[in-house]
Structure 1
Amino acid sequence: MMKTARGIDLSALARPSGAFAMLAVDQREGLRAMLAEHQDGPVSDRTMSDFKMAALRALTPHASAALLDRELAWDRAIAEHAVAPGCALIAAADVLVPGPGELVADSRIDEAVLPAKVRADGAVALKLLVIWRPDDPAEPRVALVDDFIARCRAAGLASIVEPVCRKPRDGRAWNPAEGILPAARELGDRGADIYKAEMPLFGKGAEAEVRRACAELTRTVNGPWVVLSSGVAPDDFPQAVEWACREGASGFLAGRAVWRTVIGRPDIEAALREDAVPRLQRLVEVVDRVAGGFSPGARPRTPHD
């Protein structure tokens, strides 16, 4: 049994190797924007839901867990048995709030995601996205994360916290990659069972530089952490995941790097089989080889090769 230091069993979310190979299909307005690039007229909710169901059917046989949103995926996926047996369910418990020039400018806990209901549906974890800005006060973010983790513990669900860095509100020039480590220092020791991080330096730069940043994230986060793929080109993501895992990451929770390149193809189901499935299989091979063999509750806090 794979338990964290807080006693939460993460076995259902992991591969037999002990690594996490988790698929994200909880994108909302971001997915609408991607689909809109390839069609005339507005993208309907049904179009987005259809894409998510196709992705779940094709990809979840190869993933250790799948992250679904309430608005467009959860109930339909449960009703249609779109998630493969053996692939754990994670419910996105966040409302994503748009703002000027940003599809997601803020977030809050989604009160319509009822922990008892999603657990009855088979969920083993909840995920919360948190917007981190260098010029916003820390206290509201910390309070939001603490509230979320407390709700997860009360419901017997694992908690996954996902800080995402955004530009300052004052408009000054700023590289969002500069916020990844400060966000982890603020939120990486609040008690989340899994910390979902943007890829340090977004995977760009020399291997030694990127790996040093990943090692620093390992020293900062108190518990297992996984990488997301936003900001990293799909073809570059397997290498980024390997560097991160060699420095202490436990795997990935990603969507775009797996299925982004099939959007706009005339036959989505065929493209998922021929393109997205091999991409996911390659990522699974990486984490099994590099991050496997560790219990998330007992992983070394120092980098390993």
Structure 2
Amino acid sequence: MTAMTTAERRGYQQICGPDGAMMVIAADQRGGMRQALTSDPAEQKTISNAMLGETKADITRYLASVAGCILVDPLCAVPMLVDDGVLDRQTALLIGLDASGWDTSAEDYRVSVMCEGITARRVRELGGTGGKIMIYLRSDTPAANVENLATLDAVVADFAAEDMLLVVEFLTYQLEGESKEDYKARTAELIEGGSRLCLEHGAKLLKIPYPGSAEACAAITRLSGIVPWAVLSAGVDHQTFLGQVEIAMANGASGVIAGRSLWKDCISLDRAVTRERLTTIAVPRLREIQAVIARHRVAAAA
């Protein structure tokens, strides 16, 4: 494990709140956001990147201003959020490098795809505090990870050359022919194994799925050592995620990077509806998550 440089640590401090914990609003989704805006597949196809950008702008105004950091994509959201003055000067900005969806190899493994031309230098040019990469991993199947780990290596090296903060996220997935029951039984093992791979390949800050239990969270904390880790929401409902945050924070997590659990049922093609729901539903949810984080940060400092 490698410690953050001074510049990386400064970036990390900026994506954290005054208590030193991460509370980042994830709004870098494209396909998932279209599905949240409408359940009609035909209508989803009519939602342009510009329309997604407007939704992301509302999420930034109403949620990120409360949380302190927003994670967005470089296709719909920036530089507009900066150039149009949507992003508050005190709100940190993470920019996602990964494209929506994935390619599939001849062996039916998921191959992560990055947005073309989005390098560490470009993230800096767009006003980013740091970048975020997401790759797919199956730690029990080395052949599934070759291309994705090569992508990770290249991105880690690029951000190191620019001395810029990089959040490394991974998702695991069910293999072709694997039963849902077998996959579920291995999830904790796969999350720990994926975390280990990311650490071995230079990750200094992890964004990972909820490992499944207090014991699994504690294992991630022991494994990651000096590397902070944040739990992602993966689209579960708010009450479920709130319980996951409680367990993760009690067992060494350094914060939260959450998206759909906060806003998936709050956004609408009618922006007036979106703004009302973000204010009356999403912000109170965010406050509840912040209260859990704050309680555990106080306990850890005591």
TM-score by length of 2: 0.84
Q: What whole-Å deviation, never above 9, does each CA across 1:45-97 have from its counterpart, x for those lacking one?
A: 23322211111111111113111101111122122222222111111011234
Supply the distance in 2 between the matched residues of 1:162 and 1:141 (Cα, whole angstroms). 12
Task: Give the superposition deviation at 1:16.
Answer: 0.8
Distance 1:165 1:188 in 2: 16
Q: Which residue of 2 aligns with 1:242?
A: 246
Which residue of 2 is the match for residue 161 of structure 1?
Answer: 168
Which residue matches 1:278? 284
CA contact (8 A) 2:167 2:206 kept: yes
Q: Deviations over 1:123-176 (max 9, x none)?
A: 121100001134452333332222111111112210111010111134444227
Higher-strand-fraction structure? 1
CA distance in 1 between partners of 2:298 and 2:162 (Å):
28
Q: Distance in 2 between matches of 1:55 and 1:63?
A: 11
- After superposition, the Cα gap between the structure-2 partners of 1:119 and 1:83, relative to the gap in structure 1 and judged at 3 Å, is same
Question: Could you tell me which of 188, 195, 220 is aligned with 2:199?
Answer: 188
Contact 1:96/1:105 (8 A) holds in 2: no
* Residues 1:29 and 2:35 aligned together: no
C-alpha RMSD over aligned residues: 2.6
User: Could you list the runs of 5+ residues in structure 2 that have no partner in the other structure?
Assistant: none
Q: Secondary structure at the match of 1:188?
A: helix
Aligned to 2:222: 219
Partner of 1:5: 3
Write out aligned runs for 1:35-184 (5 A).
Answer: 35-37=37-39, 41=43, 42-45=45-48, 46-98=50-102, 105-133=110-138, 134-135=140-141, 137=143, 138-173=145-180, 174-175=183-184, 177-178=187-188, 179-184=190-195
Question: What is residue 298 of structure 1 aligned with on the other side?
Answer: none
Q: Distance in 1 between matches of 2:95 and 2:248?
A: 25
Aligned length: 282
Cα distance between partner residues in 1 of 2:291 and 2:269: 26
Q: Which runs of 5+ in 1 are unaligned?
A: 202-209, 295-303
Partner of 1:287: 293
Query: Is the helix fraction higher in 1 or 2?
Result: 2
1:241 corresponds to which letter in structure 2? V
TM-score by length of 1: 0.84
Cα displacement (A) at 1:191: 2.3
* Equivalent residues of 1:125, 1:159 under 8 A apart: yes
- The 3-state SS of whatever aligns with 2:75 is coil
CA contact (8 A) 1:94 1:107 kept: yes
Write the distance in 2 (CA, Å) between the matches of 1:74 and 1:105: 27
Preserved contact between residue 53 and residue 73 of structure 1 (Cα < 8 Å): yes
In structure 2, the CA distance between the partners of 1:217 and 1:150, relative to structure 1 (3 Å rule), is: same
